[in-house]
Every structure is written in structure tokens, then in C-alpha cells.
Amino acid sequence: MDAEPLHALASRFRGRRLLVTGGAGAIAANLIRALLAAGCRVDATVRPGGQAWRLTGLGEALTRHTVDVGDADALERVFAQVRPEFVFHLATPRGHDAAARDEMLRVNVLGAQALLGCVRRHAVERLVVAGSSLEYAPAHTALKETDPIAPLTWHGATKAAAAVLYRQAAAEHGVPVSLLRIFHVYGPWESAHRLAPTAIRAALSGDAMPMTAGGIRRDWVYVDDVCEALLLAAAKAAPGDVFNIGSGVETSNETLVACVESVLGRSVRQLVGELPPRATDAEHRFADRSLAQRQLGWAPRHSLKDGLRETAAWHAQHPAAWSDPADKKPEAV
């Protein structure tokens, strides 16, 4: 595919007013850096009390706003100050306990209502929302955007509920919102407890790595490829559009670890079966990404091996990032 690389895509937005919600998250940290490197002006929201360790080193290049996306009045004040032309909505809470569920419902669903109101009042040119592959039930075949929405997790359910609100606003009012159902993202700035960082650290340290039982597969997509999809959606998507963003390939956890071993030339001592399965674990979950390729011109540039190699190289340059005390593991994602 002969599409533009990330820097060229980000350069298209130079001189435009850009707002990223969930600025302290992993995808946002990569998107913000790509936009700043291209000379863009970027504002970002960070929730009150949130840990913004991923934004370390950006200084005054990034304008931060401490705001709860679920607080409609506070969000309105940010929109009135920034007057964004493009909004990338990446904020999403994590966790599994009762308090986390309440937070997901409030931020993902009521936050959608607040965000839509701001977008309409301030004539935003395009709102791009990060949805989730967990809005679908697992399936033995590639998941299409037209497949039934049947989430098995609370996170997936609140994302799906929000998606209904966004698409209804597009249908009734022409709100320029598009949604990306993103599959399993990996790469720089992701949390240390996730599979790829854990495997890389285990390979480098020689420590044993607890694993779930075999047979769990995911669609792994490198974070820079996700950032390209976000920018392409901002440039090309129509109101109400939904796109799957994944590699289109399902890969088992064991295969990913083997790929890390190959990239680093070191073995990983695996303790298979030491970790219990989670609600997000499935034998099959992978994207049919053909719609994004046809309509956005998007396809992932990075193979799993390429993405893991870049992730390992990033870790070598940022060795403290995966030991930051603010990077706390949620009870579940």
C-alpha cells in the first residue's frame, strides 16, 4: 500500500486547532508526539488526579487541561478556550471493581453526551472516537463492522452504548463523528503489565513470565498504525462511519512471546497456566479491516515482528518508563 506515513499525515494538520482527550493514555501519548513532531498545536485533557507520566518531557509544547470528560460544564469551558477544529476522543477509564464500572459508565456514556453537545455548539469539523473490538462478541471468522454488537465485558458494553449515541447524533443532526473499533494495541508507552512489555522485560532480565493457558488469540496492531488510522479518519471519514482497526491477523500469546524471543535473540522462561483467564480472553478475535482500506486508504505498515522490534528499541531508550510507579495495573481491562 502506498499511503502516507505517520509524519506526513500529521503534517496535514499543521495550523489547525487539535484537542486530544485522554491525553495521559498510551495511544494519546503516541498521537500527541507525532502531531507535535510535525509542528502541530495540540491541546490535551488529563483527568483530575490522573497520572501523566507518559507526557513527561513534552513541557510547554503541549497545552494540558485538567478536566473530567464526564463533567459537561468543565468540558464546555475547555472547548470555549481551545475552539478545536478536530477532536480525537481517546479517554477511557479502566478497571473491574464497582467503582471502576461506575466510572466507565459515567465517562464513556455520559461523557459521550457531554462531548456531542460541545462538538455541536462549537462547530467542530471532525470528532474521531476510539471505540473497542470488545463491542463485538468473539467469533471464529474475521469481525466486520456489520456484525452484531454483543459485548461480553462491561468495558465493551459501555463503549457500545456510547457508539449508539454517536451514530444517532450523526444520523439525526449530521454531527461529524466517526468511530474506530480498535483491536489489541501494543507499542511504546503502553502499560508495563501488558503482554508485549512483560515478554520484552522477561527476555532481557531472564525472569520467569507467568502465562495463561494456551489457545488465547488476539489481533495485535502497532500503535503508530493506530495513530495513522485516527488521522485518516479525521481527514476522510463521513458522519457515522465505523471502521475496524486491526492487523487482520490473529496471533496467540505464545506466538507473540516467540516473536519477542526472535527479535531480541533471548529466550523467555514461560510459566504456562500460572495466570487465570480473563473475560477479554478468547480463542478467536480478529478484524476484517477491508472497509478501512477501501474508504480510508488505511492498512497497517508494521508486521508483528517489526512492531515488537520498534517497541524493544523504544524501551532501550526509555528504560525507566516501564518501572514508573504511576503505571499501576488495573484490575482488568
Contact 16, 55 (CB under 8 A): no
pLDDT value at residue 3: 59
Considering the chain, what is the average pLDDT of its residues?
Answer: 94
pLDDT category of residue 328 using cuts at 50, 70 and 90: low
Helix crossing, 72-82 with 111-121: angle to 10°?
30
pLDDT value at residue 330: 45
The three cell numbers locating residue 173: 443532526
Helix crossing, 253-264 with 304-317: angle to 10°?
60
pLDDT tens for each residue of 240-258: 999 999 999 999 999 999 9
Domains and CATH numbers, the chain: 6-187+221-248+287-301 (3.40.50.720)
In angstroms, the CA 121 to CA 82 distance is 13
pLDDT value at residue 331: 37
pLDDT value at residue 329: 56
Question: Cα–chain-centroid distance for residue 55?
Answer: 16
The full DSSP string for 229-270 is HHHHHHHHPPTT-EEEES-S--EEHHHHHHHHHHHHT----E
pLDDT value at residue 282: 77
The three cell numbers locating residue 35: 502531531
pLDDT value at residue 280: 76
pLDDT category of residue 279 using cuts at 50, 70 and 90: confident
pLDDT tens for each residue of 33-85: 999 999 999 999 999 988 899 999 998 999 999 999 999 999 999 999 999 99
pLDDT tens for each residue of 171-186: 999 999 999 999 999 9
pLDDT value at residue 332: 30
Average of pLDDT values for 122-128?
Answer: 98
pLDDT value at residue 1: 39
Amino acid letter, 205: S
Q: What percent of the chain has pLDDT over 70?
A: 97
How many residues are listed for the chain in this entry? Answer: 333
pLDDT value at residue 333: 24
Of 248, 253, 230, the closest CA to residue 28 belongs to: 230
Residue 152 has pLDDT above 80, yes or no: yes
pLDDT value at residue 7: 96
Average of pLDDT values for 124-140?
Answer: 96
